[in-house]
Amino acid sequence: MSYPVEENDKFAAYAHPERLVSTEWLAAAIDGGALADGKLVVVESDEDVLLYETGHIPGAVKIDWHTDLNDEVTRDYVDGKAFAALAAAKGISRDSTVVIYGDKSNWWAAYALWVFTLFGHEDVRLLDGGRDKWIAEDRALTTDVTVPAPAEYPEVERNDAPIRAFKEDVLAHFGKPLIDVRSTEEYTGQRTHMPAYPEEGALRGGHIPTAASIPWARAAAEDGTYRNRAELEALYLGEAGLTEGDDVVAYCRIGERSSHTWFALKYLLGFDTVRNYDGSWTEWGNAVRVPIAKGTERGTVPA
């Protein structure tokens, strides 16, 4: 870890406190000139592609989850070469501490963090509470375009296996816990897309058999910060029934909301093996001869 880790009581209870920073910590780091030499880089990643332009944390650079991190042609993430070019252009070196924040309780920020982790970027953290908390606290915003000094970033081959599950992996995972983080209506099959979101064309509504339903936002408090350790344990160990050491797969619709849950399970509760199934319901709901369960019951392991 190249930049000092924040120490406070809430974070200390988490398995990996070094993965979060608070708004106070970030504001102090920026005031202290931390952004000057590229040791600390702040990245905004939002659902709305224009939100950064309306005002952002001074010195923050923008990375768009869709246009920067996805490959247009392969329905996959960018490769090592493209990621190296992106990081370098944003002033990020391999040893930079990267703090990511965004709108909607960091849902897209967590997704960007997960993609950084596919490339093994060591020190990448989330701003607890994200953009909304920063603004609610009346902290500094600017519309000045950040022009980072280009950095050097090595071409690293993406390593998907530890944190990314494909459809075949999920089929082989039956018998071990799955967490569905979509809304209850999507889980039961009443609807195939998020309330108030575009119909994304899943042919069937329902969930992956045996998956527990824990909508992602339940891991976030009203101010967009993660709930404390005891609350997260009640949710995932209590309600979802996970036990220590479990091998877990989380999914949603396209893998964005489940990145938020993946972060909570992996870094806040300390599950070693947590994978995000980014194909999620848009793939599973449409796949031929792949079983689903409907209704509120989790369902049973398919024969």
Partner 1 sequence: MNTHALPAPLAEIVDDFQALTEPERLQLLLEFSQGLPELPDRLKDHPELLEQVVECQSPLFLTIETEKNDAGSPDSVRLYFKAPKEAPTTRGFAGVLHEGLDGLTATEILAVPDDMPELLGLTRAITPLRMRGMTAMLGRIKRKVAASAAPKA
Choose one: 50-58, 81-89, 245-253, 267-275; the region binding partner 1 (CB under 8 A).
Answer: 50-58
- 103 belongs to the binding site for partner 1 (CB under 8 A): yes
Closest separation between CB of residue 103 and partner 1, Å? 7
List 31, 37, 53, 155, residue binding partner 1 (CB under 8 A): 53
Query: Which residue do the tokens 């967490």 mark?
Result: 179
List 49, 85, 136, 172, residue binding partner 1 (CB under 8 A): 49
Identify the active-site residue in 127, 252, 264, 293. Answer: 252
In terms of Cβ atoms closer than 10 Å to its own Cβ (0-12, 13-18, 19+), residue 222 is exposed
List 15, 27, 51, 151, residue binding partner 1 (CB under 8 A): 51
**Interior CA angle at 57 toward 55 and 59, to 5°?**
110
- 198 belongs to the binding site for partner 1 (CB under 8 A): yes
Q: Which is nearer to partner 1, 36 or 49 (CB)?
A: 49
The gap between the terminal CA atoms of the chain, to the nearest Å, is 46
Closest to 165 in 3D by CA, of 156, 157, 177: 177
Q: Is 252 annotated in the active site?
A: yes
- 54 belongs to the binding site for partner 1 (CB under 8 A): yes
| Phi (first) and psi of residue 243, to 5 degrees | -125, 155
CA pair distance 138, 112, nearest whole angstrom: 25
Closest to 280 in 3D by CA, of 172, 185, 159, 187: 187
- 5 belongs to the binding site for partner 1 (CB under 8 A): no
Active-site residue set: 252
Contacts with partner 1, residue ranges (CB under 8 A)? 47-51, 53-54, 66-67, 72, 103, 196-200
